[in-house]
């Protein structure tokens, strides 16, 4: 069954903590009005006092309010921010020359806060993305945005039926959120229709059905592209506002079948860095060897993918020296072999 993955309030500018707390109360009220909401989130621009961020995070609200160019990151401030938990950061990569900073930042965060913190930091290549998905969520307009969990809705369907089913799911949830958010005086921005997994709600059967092939064999790229075209067409057919990525996502640490494929050595890092060129949102939730040159090469591939597809891509990786690493909320994540 489908459900709302993230109910996210986007706030580009706000005057201070009291105003932000008031906005969080609106979001909480909206959640009570809706069914099947998994997480509530606030994506905020600007700088806030630590007590403000800490209080929101401690209430169980996920918050993304650290947005910085990679070369301008002040490590102590980033560490303090991430130490509160439920806090997410997006770091913008502007050139190949900055890629050397990525392994240094990841190693420092891992040593100080633990590997769990790396799941809450992502590197944005090609610009900011106005999306309810964290960590790469940059607020450009004020209002509510949603993302959905709907992978199980497509399992067992013929790929020709994807558009109809996705359109139906998008319409139902988008119209409900739009109506109830407006009654609370909060504009509705739209839905990021990306197809994303959560553990047993795997996207692998859907990709393989669209490809008529097994991941990661020949033909998978065409299946990925077919799914993204279906998502695009479903958004048009549903006649709803959309924002963000609107693409298939392959976060290894959030998909039990992807984990298995990586653990068995079938799905490797070079596959995962090539797929974004065919319209996957990026290299996401992947265990990667603690090898500076390898990480830089992966970054170069992602920059190339952005240049080819003309859209932003992201990188969220967990560096490790072990074949498997235990991560809070995600369980065991395998290291992807090069």
Give 201-226 pLDDT, tens digit per residue.
999 999 999 999 999 999 999 999 99
Query: pLDDT band for position 15 (50/70/90)?
Result: confident
Query: pLDDT band for position 278 (50/70/90)?
Result: confident
Task: Retrieve residue 117's tokens.
Answer: 């913190």
pLDDT of residue 283: 97
Section 150-164 average pLDDT = 97
Query: pLDDT band for position 279 (50/70/90)?
Result: confident
pLDDT tens per residue across span 46-87: 766 778 898 999 999 999 999 999 999 999 999 999 999 999
Percent of the chain with pLDDT over 90: 94
State the sign of the Cα–Cα–Cα–Cα dihedral 326, 133, 244, 80. negative
pLDDT of residue 306: 96
| Host H or E run for residue 44 | strand 37-44
C-alpha span between 97 and 100 (Å, rounded): 7
pLDDT of residue 14: 87
pLDDT of residue 47: 67
Burial category of 233 from C-beta neighbours within 10 Å (exposed 0-12, middle 13-18, buried 19 and up): middle
pLDDT of residue 1: 84
Residue 289 CB coordination number (10 Å): 17
Would you list the DSSP string of 116-183? GGGGGEEEEESS----SSSSS----SSEEEEEEE-HHHHTTS-GGGHHHHHHHHHHHHHHHHHHHHHH
Determine contact, residues 16/55, Cβ cutoff 8 Å. Answer: no
pLDDT greater than 90 at residue 324: yes
C-alpha span between 288 and 240 (Å, rounded): 38
C-alpha span between 9 and 4 (Å, rounded): 14
pLDDT greater than 70 at residue 300: yes
Burial category of 28 from C-beta neighbours within 10 Å (exposed 0-12, middle 13-18, buried 19 and up): middle
| Cβ-Cβ contacts under 8 Å for 5 (sequence gap 6 or more) | 38, 39, 146, 147, 148, 149, 196, 198
pLDDT of residue 231: 98
Polymer length of the chain = 338
Determine contact, residues 252/258, Cβ cutoff 8 Å. Answer: yes
Residue 239 CB coordination number (10 Å): 11
């Amino acid at each position: 069954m489908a459900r709302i993955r993230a109910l996210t309030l986007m706030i580009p500018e706000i005057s201070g903590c009291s105003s932000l707390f008031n906005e969080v109360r609106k979001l909480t009220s909206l959640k009570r009005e809706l069914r099947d909401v998994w997480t509530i989130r606030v994506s905020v621009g600007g700088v806030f006092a630590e007590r403000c961020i800490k209080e929101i995070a401690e209430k169980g609200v996920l918050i993304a309010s650290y947005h910085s160019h990679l070369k301008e990151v002040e490590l102590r401030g980033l560490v303090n921010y991430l130490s509160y938990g439920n806090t997410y950061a997006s770091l913008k990569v502007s050139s190949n020359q900055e890629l050397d900073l990525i392994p240094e930042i990841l190693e420092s965060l891992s040593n100080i806060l633990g590997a769990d913190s790396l799941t809450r930091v992502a590197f944005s290549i090609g610009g900011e993305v106005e999306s309810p998905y964290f960590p790469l969520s940059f607020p450009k307009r004020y209002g509510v945005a949603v993302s959905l969990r709907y992978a199980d809705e497509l399992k067992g369907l013929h790929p020709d039926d994807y558009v109809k089913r996705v359109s139906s799911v998008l319409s139902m949830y988008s119209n409900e959120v739009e109506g109830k958010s407006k009654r609370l005086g909060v504009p509705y921005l739209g839905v990021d229709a990306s197809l994303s997994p959560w553990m047993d709600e795997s996207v692998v059967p859907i990709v393989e059905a669209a490809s008529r092939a097994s991941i990661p064999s020949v033909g998978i790229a065409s299946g990925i592209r077919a799914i993204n075209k279906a998502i695009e067409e479903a958004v048009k057919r549903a006649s709803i506002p959309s924002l963000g990525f609107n693409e298939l996502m392959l976060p290894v640490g959030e998909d039990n079948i992807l984990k298995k494929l990586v653990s068995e050595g079938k799905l490797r890092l070079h596959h995962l860095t090539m797929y974004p060129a065919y319209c996957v949102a990026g290299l996401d939730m992947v265990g990667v060897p603690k090898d500076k040159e390898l990480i830089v090469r992966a970054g170069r591939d992602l920059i190339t993918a952005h240049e080819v597809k003309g859209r932003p891509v992201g990188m969220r990786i967990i560096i490790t020296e072990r074949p498997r690493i235990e991560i809070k909320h995600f369980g065991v994540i395998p290291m992807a072999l090069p």
